[in-house]
Amino acid sequence: MSLPFEKKKLEECAKEQIHLLGKVQSHGVLFVLSPGNLEILSVSANAGDILGVEPSRLCGTSLEKWIGEATIAQLKLASKERAYTFNNPLTVHFAGGLIFDGIAHLSGEQLIFEIECRDAADISASEGIDDYFRLTNTTLQRVTPEDSVEQLAQKVAEDVKDFTGFDRVMVYRFAPDWHGEIIAEAREDELEPFLHLHYPASDIPPQARELYRKNWLRIVRDVTDEGTPIEMPDQQPLDLSMSTLRTMSWAHLKYLQNMGVKATMTISLLTPAGDLWGLIACHHYAGPYFLPYKARSACSNYALVVSTRITDRERSISVMRASRRERELPAALRELFKGQDLQEQIIRNASRFLHVLRADGLVIIENAWIETAGSTPSQESIAHIVENIRSSGSRDFVRSYDSLTDLELTDSGELGKSAGMLVIEVTPAWLVLAFRDEFVEEVKWGGDPNAPVEMLSNGRLTPRGSFSAFAQTVRGKCRSWTKTDRMIGAEFRTALSSFVIQRNEQLTALNSELASKNTEIEQFVYSISHDLKSPLVTIGGYIQALKEDLEVGEIDELRHSISRIDNAAERMNRLIEDLLAFSRIGRDDGTPCIIDMREFLQEISDDFLTNTKDIELKLPDNPRDILGAPRAIQRAFENLLNNAAKHARRNDGEPLSIWVGCQLSKKHIVYTITDNGCGIPPEFHERVFQLFERLNPKVKGTGVGLASVTKVMEQHGGTVKLESSDGDGCTFSLFFPRSF
Amino acid sequence: MPPEARLVRFLLIEDDPDHAHLIRRSLKRSRVANNLVHFPDGQAGLNYLRGEGEHSERMLPDVVLLDLRLPGLSGHEVLKAIRADENLAHIQVVILTTSADERDRETAAKLNANSYLIKPLEFSQFQKMVDDLSFYWGVWNLTPSLDEDNS
């Protein structure tokens, strides 16, 4: 028996239009009526058996002729309002004294009126909606907030069994692939347990699931009942989706018979969105079994309430788990941002991320570079997988694979223990793959899932005859990636990409900083090459002069040359020391702190005044504290004061005065150092701040002082400005940002 | 043999007193008769060239020896001023500096410096360079006689 053939037959089964079969169960009669005048258009063939009136006599007459006036009045009223189901069931007194439950609904333009014999029921229904309350309250009172979905389902199964009297009541849950598992069961002791058995998706094909979604309760009184046909005039199709008497498909009845079931009732469990979540499946083995309409109605309303309870519980458990998982992420991410190299940090903290993602192995891929941690496939396999992922053209940044065999890799032998993966695409070039090891699962099936059907000698497929537990070992799969896993993956991705953006911005900033550093270094090297060479030229020159003078014995010249050599050597030393000090600005200045400027300026002033004569120095009355590296700030102030003392001599010989001032602007604390000296011509204002630039050749100095001030201020995020006109004193302003 | 040697007048603009001293000493030992006037900064040198104030009686030099790194006006700025002054534009300007920087040389050439010499680190070479310099300008090279005295 070839599998494709079998598969084809299964697909045919899936196409069977079961709601258009046109057969009803034998314990009731189905009328097709014209809604306006209640003319009987058609009736099921068993009318003669149940009502004692042949269909031929019924068809073409009005229903009024056959049933009690009160019921007719109700039907007519419902017909006018086109709302039938609210009144169900109607009590129907049929001619000859028989009493039925009448159930009306519209199907297209036709009114379907089904009557069920009350005597056929195996339990009696109470009046009103007492049944519903009794059933619902029992369960709700037994439910506790700690119940898992399975515990809740167990209580449902027990209560339904209690209420309906079926031999076995099961709660069946659909998996995302539509196969199902029995998660709760209440049964008579002598029955073999079905709990935790799985059933293949083909056991309940899509169109059956669709009917379960629309019509919440189906009952089959007797699975051996082949049903009775309804002949429609002109072979019009009749949609019996909402019919309560409709027969199930032959295959399904056969399936139940093979299981040893005699009667069954199935109630749908729906999600709040109206999707099929599962079923309450009731089996009866002792013989045909039937519940009156009111009891069924109580069951289906009850199912609606417990559906909400179950799906709510399921959701809140998953939300709780997800939020617990979510809380693990930030701590792990904090580790990540401690280092500069993100990928290295991920690998270094791999165990944390493996835990967060519930994975066994982690792989970071940037272009062709691959780094792994934990249990992963071989490097070659990863390269292969990456190629596969990149060519897949998927637009999802985070996607999961429960099995790597879906990727159709050629060398699956190299996968190691890994069986599934979560792909996190940070950028097109940068991927993070989380791998899960194979999870070998024992699944117990209700019968062999690989052979859900068997072939009869006439070539017809029949549902499998054996439903005894069939253990299957599932290999090549990992524990399924959940929505939460993917959500954590997505959050991980968001964090990583924000880091990438941040890193790019840092790089851009670094590049521009480097560019300005380059200019600075060039200027520096230029100055050094010139200014350090100068004393060397001097030394070389005087040494030659010494040689010549020694030969002719010019002693005075000798003395002069030696002192000049000394002087040049000393100057060179000073230059080098100043240079070193300059280059150290911003490196060895210690930690910035808030400087008490009153005390700080007083100390600087005391030092300054002991080393100078005839200079008056005034400090500000209300100095504002600043944030800075004290040693560097001290250097800046000292340089400016010394600069004033050296250069700002007054032309008239009067003593020099220096004022230190402090003002606040919107964004800055501004310290000013003002002198009443000879001033600096505007054309030199820019050059005085450059390294080794000097204005006056007669004043000793290396030209590092003001360049140092500039550098100190740059290090503190501030600036220095000079205001002066020739002969009218100078004001140097230090702008410190008001950063605190 | 070279033609008759003339007295060569040098103007030195040099802020480093030692370098000035060494240049003066070398010129004294030159084979060619010469005369040297020295100023430590560019502005003073320009004032002299322009015959301003106390310098009204000055003789225009044949050659200006110009350092580049100077306090106040830089050597390049002094050169620019000389070339921009129609009375001075013809004067030979020799840049005499420690800087071997390509940009300095380029700037000097663009400003029409006549020569660019790098101060050597050995004095024997220094002596020879200054000697050659005075010999070249005093003997081989004929400068136009635009001095007020000759016009």
Residues A445-484 pLDDT 10s? 888 877 777 777 776 667 777 777 788 888 888 999 988 8
Chain B residues within 8 A of A538 when measuring between CB atoms: 16, 18-19, 22
Q: Name the pLDDT band for A8 (thresholds 50, 70, 90).
A: low
Best-predicted range by mean pLDDT (A73-82, A86-95, B22-31, B60-69): B60-69
Mutation pick from B22, B23, B68, B80 vs chain A, by most beta carbons of A within 10 Å, is B22
Cβ contact B16–A530 (<8 Å)? no
pLDDT of residue A443: 85
Q: Which DSSP symbol is given to B77?
A: H
Contacts of A460 (CB under 8 A, 6+ apart): none
Residues A332-337, mean pLDDT to the nearest whole number: 78
- Kindly list the residues of chain A whose beta carbon comes within 8 Å of any beta carbon in chain B: 526, 529-531, 533-534, 536-538, 540-545, 564, 567-568, 684, 692-698
Give per-residue burial for A101-135: e unless 16+ CB within 10 Å, then b.
Answer: bbbbbbeeebbbbbbbbbebbbeebeeeeebbeeb
Cβ contact A530–B72 (<8 Å)? no
Min mean pLDDT across A5-9, A37-41, A109-113 is at A5-9
Contacts of A128 (CB under 8 A, 6+ apart): none
Cβ contact A543–B41 (<8 Å)? no
Residues A678-695, mean pLDDT to the nearest whole number: 79
Nearest residue of chain B to residue A529 (CA atoms) = B99
Residues A256-266, mean pLDDT to the nearest whole number: 92
Contacts of A49 (CB under 8 A, 6+ apart): A26
pTM for the structure as a whole: 0.56
Residues A708-733, mean pLDDT to the nearest whole number: 87
Contacts of A629 (CB under 8 A, 6+ apart): A589, A590, A591, A592, A593, A715, A716
pLDDT of residue A655: 78
Mutation pick from B13, B15, B24, B25 vs chain A, by most beta carbons of A within 10 Å, is B25
Residues A665-685, mean pLDDT to the nearest whole number: 87
Q: How far apart are CA A665 and CA A668, in angstroms?
A: 5
DSSP output for A181-192: EEEEEEE-TTSP
Nearest residue of chain B to residue A536 (CA atoms) = B121
Average pLDDT over chain B, rounded to whole?
84
pLDDT by residue (tens digit) across A372-382?
899 998 888 88
pLDDT at A89 over 90: no
Cβ contact B97–A538 (<8 Å)? no
Cβ contact B71–A526 (<8 Å)? no
pLDDT of residue A265: 95
Cβ contact B124–A544 (<8 Å)? yes
Cβ contact A564–B40 (<8 Å)? no
Q: What is the dihedral of CA B78, B81, B87, B93, to 10 degrees?
A: 40
pLDDT of residue A81: 74
- Kindly list the residues of chain B whose beta carbon comes within 8 Å of any beta carbon in chain A: 15-16, 18-19, 21-22, 25, 40-41, 68-72, 97-101, 119-124, 126-127
Whether the bond between B2 and the residue before it is cis, its omega within 30 degrees of 0, is no
Number of helices followed by number of strands (H, E) in chain A: 17, 29
Q: Name the pLDDT band for A3 (thresholds 50, 70, 90).
A: very low
Chain B residues within 8 A of A541 when measuring between CB atoms: 18-19, 22, 123, 126
Q: How far apart are CA B98 and CA A537, in angstroms?
A: 8
A691 to chain B, closest Cα gap in Å: 12
pLDDT of residue A6: 54
Cβ contact B19–A538 (<8 Å)? yes
Q: Which of B69, B70, B123 sits opposite A540 (nearest CB)?
A: B123
Between the two ends of chain A, the Cα-to-Cα distance in Å is 85
pLDDT of residue A699: 67
User: What values do phi and psi take at B49, rounded to 5?
Assistant: -60, -40
Cβ contact A538–B121 (<8 Å)? no
pLDDT by residue (tens digit) across B102-114?
888 999 999 999 9
A665 to chain B, closest Cα gap in Å: 33
Q: How far apart are CA A147 and CA B65, in angstroms?
A: 102
Q: Name the pLDDT band for B145 (thresholds 50, 70, 90).
A: low
pLDDT at A431 over 50: yes
With both helix axes pointing from N to C terminus, report the angle between A555-584 and A705-715 in degrees, rounded to the nearest 10.
Answer: 10
